[in-house]
Amino acid sequence: MNIIQFLKNLLGFKKETQEDIMKKFLIVGLGNIGEKYNNTRHNIGFQIVNAFVKEHEETFSTDKLGDIAKLKIKGKTVIVLKPNTYMNLSGKAVQFWLKKENINVENLLVITDDLNIDFGKIRIKGKGSSGGHNGLKDIQEKFNTGAYPRFRFGVGNSYGRGKQVDYVLGEWNKEEQSEMIERIPFCVNAVTSFITAGLSNTMNEFNGK
């Protein structure tokens, strides 16, 4: 027994059981920090987790490698992370908080934008490629696998040749903003379903809608 575990035992800390671990979740919204990015398509991950945390009447606080919120849903502990590492270094923050909180990778959900999906549609999967997304690419490189759940929000691809970066870093147009009033709560429900009903049930209920 090492000194840290000895002190925990002495102070009455309970060692986490496998059942405890299975009840812990890490929900990650990907985005770029800074006010100028707040309402951009690339920051939909931040927008969804902001709404999710607000729905459950909690708030974020700044911690190592990102902003963190902690909440309980039906007996399950949920850690919500907004990395502050910028998009292309997201994996460092995700890896750190998975290890720190002792969370299984199947209880991780990474939320991001996707150019290959029509605006407003969502696609949740248990594994996959990065699809050219820099945030997912860095996570995959850090994990050395693409086998982790991800939640892609379609932002469409209505941009001209060479304008992809401008498009994803651009703000929602008025029509999109109007539709987001309904789409964001829908996404919050999908995240809650992932935690309470599991990946398979959530995919069946929400994918493509």
Binding residues for tRNA: 37, 86, 88, 134
User: Is residue 82 within 8 Å of 47, Cβ to Cβ?
Assistant: no
C-alpha distance from residue 76 to each of 17, 23, 58, 162, 176 (Å): 14, 5, 15, 45, 34
Question: What stretches of the chain show up as alpha helix (H) in DSSP?
Answer: 3-10, 18-22, 44-55, 90-101, 134-143, 164-168, 174-197, 199-206
Copy the structure tokens of residue 180: 């987001």
- Residue 40 burial (C-beta neighbours within 10 Å; 0-12, 13-18, 19+): buried
User: How many residues would you count in the chain?
Assistant: 209
Which residues lie across from 53 on neighbouring strands? none
CA gyration radius for the chain?
18
> Which residues are the active-site residues?
42
